[in-house]
Structure 1
Amino acid sequence: MLKPAFILLLGTPLTAVAAQPVALSLEDTFDAYVQVILHGNEASKETLRENLLLLENSDSVDAIVDALDALQLSKAAFNGTAMEPVSRALEMRRKTLSCTITNITRETVHSTPQAKVAYRCAFPDLSGFFATYRNAQKRRAVVGDVPEDAKALFVAFANALRDAPDRSHEGSAVFLKMPDNGPWLSSNLPQLGMTLLQQALPFDTWNTRVEAESVPTVTGIPTCDLMMAAELTFIARHHPQNPFLSNGMLQGNLLKRVEGMSDEEATRDCRMVHERNRELWNREKTD
């Protein structure tokens, strides 16, 4: 005699027994990305993995999801070094990080649903520590690497990271809806992890600022001013009769180029040009 539970199972539609996974909504997809990027949330990582596995090409899903947690990668690199206090402070501070959607604009392009999601985040504002960092770098340039100095600097920075006020960071991400009711995907929201890393651990940015203090100010954007100084130095060394050295045309062109860009956009653009120029200069030296 069949048991009642088994009889009920026989009468249940097959689709209810083996239901197919349903793609996350746009809002839930954004939240899953943010929870992984900001907090390294394991449940959100699994949710995002399951969502991305709805795509046919799923070989790189684990790598994609793990790469979103940029802060965790840095934290692991700090363990056992003078920056271990920074690692502990970062783990504490990331619990307070947040990003919320401020607006969603939807449209359909070539039959593909798209959405632009504007968001606002609360990140630590460490600008008040820059003067301390600059002084430490100037001392290092004079006396060399002193382990005790480095340890004291990173302990002070860790304290600043824990206590720093919030600053507002605004951005936007474009999402595309995959066919056949597939998941929403964003190519540029993962960049939020790098933005957060640069703001929570701004040492590279600060080093560039310190270096740019020794070159003429053209745009006020350190990377762009360093690029211009390097370009003029190269021309002076290898093409001393070039009129660009004295007529200000290169500086004017740079100002026009970055006009209307945010500092972040201009920095990316100037860095790209700087690297391209460096390749050309190195090639010219070897020709």
Structure 2
Amino acid sequence: MKTPIRGLLATALLCAPLFASAAPAQLTPEQTFDLYARALLEDDAAAARTLNDALKPAFDGQDSVTPVPGMMALALAEPWQTVLAVAGVKGDPAAAEAMYAKALKASQCRATRSTVEDNEYVDDQKIARVDFSCQLADLGNVHPLFTASLTSDEQATRARFTEAYTKALQSGPRKAVTGTLTLYTAKDKGYWYSSNFDDLVGPVLGALAPFEEWLQDVEAAKAPKVTGVPACDLLLQQHRSCVAKIAPDQISGVDAMAEELKAKTQVMSAEEMTQECKSLRPMAEMMWTDECA
């Protein structure tokens, strides 16, 4: 099941900064991050206004962000409607969007610290790596129910999953989800801004609607055991299948990749290897064509 989440990570929210007219700094990296989070995730119009007012001199008097109210809730509601349809449950799109809007407002993604350093690619510029933490629904107990719903033909099994997920999202325990967003400043260090919000929005949407990742877990359990790490074994299986179709003369590269990953399992934990292969996946997927589907 594909979801539209990754394609809706706020890439249309930005204007390009006009460096020459930057104003003296008014917001710290932490303050800037908090305003971005409130504006993009919580539909906080006041935060968007504060941020845009602070950055207007740097953006030639124009707004730097133009978030569409409800956009993130819609990005979450669409895959959930697909899940409900597969489960044979009639969904209410408006209710789903309202449920996710409430979850996003409660996310409370806030900066915890920042580290400022030189931008090695641009002279006389700085970057700030802002660490943040969000409070999101803990779906750990829901995951097994999702897996069971995929392997059962019983309507009751699927209903248990959908009911448990909805309850967890609305009133269940929370867990901290952390990440880091990079902010940039102009040559005269007049302000901080971001040109890509994937590192902020991605962890939040992924934590609230992890259906694609859960499906991969199910598929990974069936993959041939090469490394013994399901996420890595699935990646190798899918990559080998694709390369065999589009570039069979390069299959030796997949073999080399498998040997490298097997070697790493000798010095890295299963959790570290899982993260390693999750990081490798986007790079591999960039090579996959429609023939690999």
Match of 1:82 in 2: 91
Residue of structure 1 aligned with 2:192, choices 175, 184, 197: 184
Alignment gaps of 5+ in structure 1:
1-19
Match of 2:45 in 1: 42
Query: SS at 2:33's partner residue?
Result: helix
Residue of structure 2 aligned with 1:25, choices 20, 28, 32: 28
Mean alpha-carbon deviation: is it higher for 87-96 or for 231-240? 231-240
Q: How far did residue 233 of structure 1 move? A: 4.3
Q: 1:198 is aligned with what amino acid?
A: G
Match of 1:111 in 2: 124
Alignment gaps of 5+ in structure 2:
1-22, 85-89
Q: 1:251 is aligned with what amino acid?
A: A
Query: SS at 2:261's partner residue?
Result: helix
* Pairs aligned (count): 254
Q: How far did residue 105 of structure 1 move? A: 1.9
TM-score by length of structure 1 reads: 0.68
Query: What do residues 79-107 of structure 1 show as CA deviations (whole Å, max 9, x unaligned)?
Result: 89616454343233333322333322223
Query: SS at 1:127's partner residue?
Result: coil
Mean alpha-carbon deviation: is it higher for 196-205 or for 43-52? 43-52
Match of 1:207 in 2: 215
* Alignment map for 1:1-287 (pairs within 5 Å): 23-56=26-59, 61-63=64-66, 65-66=67-68, 70-75=72-77, 82=91, 84=93, 85-109=95-119, 110-139=123-152, 153-180=161-188, 182-217=190-225, 218=227, 220-222=229-231, 224-233=232-241, 249-255=256-262, 263-264=274-275, 266-276=277-287, 278-279=288-289, 282=291
Query: What do residues 168-219 of structure 1 show as CA deviations (whole Å, max 9, x unaligned)?
Result: 2222222222245643112454431121011011111111111222112436
Match of 1:8 in 2: none
Query: SS at 1:169's partner residue?
Result: strand
By percentage of residues, which structure has more helix?
1
Contact in 2 for aligned 1:174/1:187 (Cα 8 Å) = no
RMSD: 4.3
> Judging changes above 3 Å, is the alpha-carbon distance between structure 1 residues 250 and 77 closer, same or farther for their aligned structure 2 residues?
closer
Query: What do residues 243-287 of structure 1 show as CA deviations (whole Å, max 9, x unaligned)?
Result: 969x975422234679876745631422321341x33x949xxxx
Contact in 1 for aligned 2:133/2:177 (Cα 8 Å) = yes
Bigger-Rg structure (1/2): 1
Distance in 1 (CA, whole Å) between partners of 2:216 and 2:235 is 11
Query: What do residues 118-158 of structure 1 show as CA deviations (whole Å, max 9, x unaligned)?
Result: 22222221021011111111125xx8xx7x98676434321
Query: SS at 1:40's partner residue?
Result: coil
> Judging changes above 3 Å, is the alpha-carbon distance between structure 1 residues 75 and 249 closer, same or farther for their aligned structure 2 residues?
closer
Distance in 2 (CA, whole Å) between partners of 1:31 and 1:118 is 11
Query: SS at 1:133's partner residue?
Result: helix
Contact in 1 for aligned 2:244/2:251 (Cα 8 Å) = no
Q: How far did residue 23 of structure 1 move? A: 4.5
Distance in 1 (CA, whole Å) between partners of 2:197 and 2:49 is 18
> Judging changes above 3 Å, is the alpha-carbon distance between structure 1 residues 275 and 27 closer, same or farther for their aligned structure 2 residues?
closer
Q: 1:71 is aligned with what amino acid?
A: A
Identity %: 20
